[in-house]
Chains A and B, each alone.
Chain A
Amino acid sequence: MDRDDLIVNDSYSVNARHDESHGKQIRKKIYFVTILLSAITTVEVGLGIFIKQGTDFWPVVKWSFVIMTLIKAGYIVLVFMHLGDERKSLRYVVLLPYAIFILYLLFIGVTESSHLNDVWREFQP
């Protein structure tokens, strides 16, 4: 099993270096992610313009927006912010507390506001 707690001088963030050939590889990945992010954004804008809210298709489009956004966010955090290259421990320290709080907050927000909406609908003249 790979040990994740070892501190090797080369893996220390300040000493992270690479040469030109390795840099080429990294840049290739960056350009790939650029094209991907741009493509997803284009698709999102296209769907937003051509599918009107309230049509039969809309719920599918709405959820596809959410999924596409999460994919974009994942690529930005893991590749652009290099969180994917960090140690597992740092990844979890950053992502887990955030995920726990926000999932709970989302749950409260959606439950409460849906209930409020129901009540207001009931008492609408």
Chain B
Amino acid sequence: MAGEATKAIDKSLLWGGGRSPFSVSYGKMMMWFFLVSDALTFSGLLVAYGYARQAYLGAWPIGEQVFHALPGLTGNFPLIYVALMTFILIISSVTMVLAVEAGHRMDKKGVTKWLAYTIVGGIIFLGSQAWEWSHFIHGSAGYIITDTNAQYFLVEEVPHGKTAFDVEGFSLIANMGEENESIITGDKATSLFNDRINYVQGANMTINEYGPPQYGNFFFFITGFHGFHVFTGVLINIIVFIGVRKGIYEKRGHYEMVEKTGLYWHFIDLVWVFVFTFFYLI
């Protein structure tokens, strides 16, 4: 058994086989394995997204043209909001790693402080995502589809329950984004609006004003699945925070629980880095 162990390891820490594979505890190793499987899930979603987008003849919407609003402000701010969300998540990842570092020093006060910041960061991120979803679902002015299957984009939205006559100077844009793009005003515009077969505004699971139906579906599923991870991450962080406050880990002699939830939390940040690039930037 020469070389098996240079120093006796506490027996209570060893696994059934009498040794500790990879020199990590069971919980931490299983967290890693869980994260690998979760990473495969997210990668599958992102590859499916890329597949649909690549196959769609370039009709896919561009991130900076869809996500360009800020709460409470009018105007064009491409990507600024989602960049802020990214910063929030990166910073909360940093506070988490600082909590882990404090745990290695058995610094209960430090762990409490940094873990609290992490939870706050996570909640702010969730709130931001709620606003973004709401904005995505309600959309902007939208477009109408006529019985000849032509699309006319509205310059100004027609509020719910109102008609085109209620909008002053109601006008439509024909052939949006093409060379013969033109503006239709007056009676022709209002009669086109009245004869529409559908008024598409914002997004739902079957149709959206931004691009192909799959675009909305992938947006809801990928950011939703990620948001659900953030939500559970915040919950687990809160549970561990209570444990830290109660001194459970202090009594146990190590703060490995903080390290394990930390792994999960960093993984959420990691996924967002990829979602940010492939959904919003490219």
Q: Quick check: B24 and A109 within 8 Å, CB to CB?
A: no
Most buried by B among A14, A23, A44, A86: A14
With the chains together, A123 CA to B7 CA distance in Å?
Answer: 71
Which of chain A's residues has its CB closest to B19's CB?
A: A7
Q: For window 235-279 of chain B, which residues contact chain A by CB distance below 8 Å? A: 254, 256, 259, 262-263, 266-267, 269-270, 273-274, 276-277
Stretch of B79-87, B168-176, B196-204, B208-216 at the chain-chain interface: B79-87
Q: Quick check: B83 and A37 within 8 Å, CB to CB?
A: no
Interface CB pairs A-B, < 8 A, 5: A14-B13, A77-B270, A86-B24, A97-B36, A98-B43
Please tell me if B40 contacts chain A, counting CB pairs below 8 Å.
Answer: yes
Please tell me if B106 contacts chain A, counting CB pairs below 8 Å.
Answer: yes
- Tell me the smallest distance from the CB of B192 to a CB of chain A, in Å: 24
A114: chain B residues within 8 A (beta carbon)? 54
Among B19, B23, B86, the residue within 8 A (CB) of A87 is B23
Whether A13 contacts B256 in the complex (CB less than 8 A), given A76-B266, A98-B40, A113-B51, comes out as: yes
Q: Quick check: A49 and B79 within 8 Å, CB to CB?
A: yes
Please tell me if B78 contacts chain A, counting CB pairs below 8 Å.
Answer: yes
Please tell me if B167 contacts chain A, counting CB pairs below 8 Å.
Answer: no
A18: chain B residues within 8 A (beta carbon)? 104-105
| Count of chain A residues with a beta carbon within 8 Å of a chain B beta carbon | 67
Which of chain A's residues has its CB closest to B77's CB?
A: A49
With the chains together, A101 CA to B236 CA distance in Å?
Answer: 29
Please tell me if A60 contacts chain B, counting CB pairs below 8 Å.
Answer: no
Q: Quick check: A69 and B274 within 8 Å, CB to CB?
A: yes
Q: Quick check: A7 and B270 within 8 Å, CB to CB?
A: no
B181: chain A residues within 8 A (beta carbon)? none
Q: Quick check: B93 and A13 within 8 Å, CB to CB?
A: no
With the chains together, A5 CA to B5 CA distance in Å?
Answer: 9
Among A11, A73, A87, the residue within 8 A (CB) of B270 is A73
Q: Quick check: B62 and A20 within 8 Å, CB to CB?
A: no
- Tell me the smallest distance from the CB of A48 to a CB of chain B, in Å: 5
Residue ranges of B at the interface with A (Cβ–Cβ < 8 Å): 3-10, 13, 19-25, 28-29, 32-33, 35-36, 39-40, 43-44, 47-48, 50-57, 62-64, 78-80, 83, 86-87, 90-91, 93-94, 96-98, 100-102, 104-106, 254, 256, 259, 262-263, 266-267, 269-270, 273-274, 276-277, 280-282
With the chains together, A80 CA to B52 CA distance in Å?
Answer: 33
B104: chain A residues within 8 A (beta carbon)? 16-18, 23
Question: Chain A 11-43 against B: per-residue CB contact (8 Å), 1 yes, 0 no?
Answer: 111111111100100110010011001100110
With the chains together, A82 CA to B40 CA distance in Å?
Answer: 20
Q: Quick check: B57 and A14 within 8 Å, CB to CB?
A: no
Among A14, A79, A102, A124, the residue within 8 A (CB) of B40 is A102
A116: chain B residues within 8 A (beta carbon)? 54-55
Q: Quick check: B51 and A48 within 8 Å, CB to CB?
A: no
- Tell me the smallest distance from the CB of B14 to a CB of chain A, in Å: 9
- Tell me the smallest distance from the CB of A25 to a CB of chain B, in Å: 10
B269: chain A residues within 8 A (beta carbon)? 76, 80
Q: Quick check: B281 and A44 within 8 Å, CB to CB?
A: yes
Nearest 6 A/B pairs, CB to CB: A113-B54, A90-B22, A116-B55, A13-B24, A69-B277, A45-B83
A98: chain B residues within 8 A (beta carbon)? 36, 39-40, 43
B35: chain A residues within 8 A (beta carbon)? 94
- Tell me the smallest distance from the CB of B272 to a CB of chain A, in Å: 10
Question: Chain A 84-125 against B: per-residue CB contact (8 Å), 1 yes, 0 no?
Answer: 001101100110011001100110011011101100110010
Whether A80 contacts B266 in the complex (CB less than 8 A), given A41-B86, A94-B32, comes out as: yes
Which of chain A's residues has its CB closest to B58's CB?
A: A117
Q: Quick check: B55 and A93 within 8 Å, CB to CB?
A: no
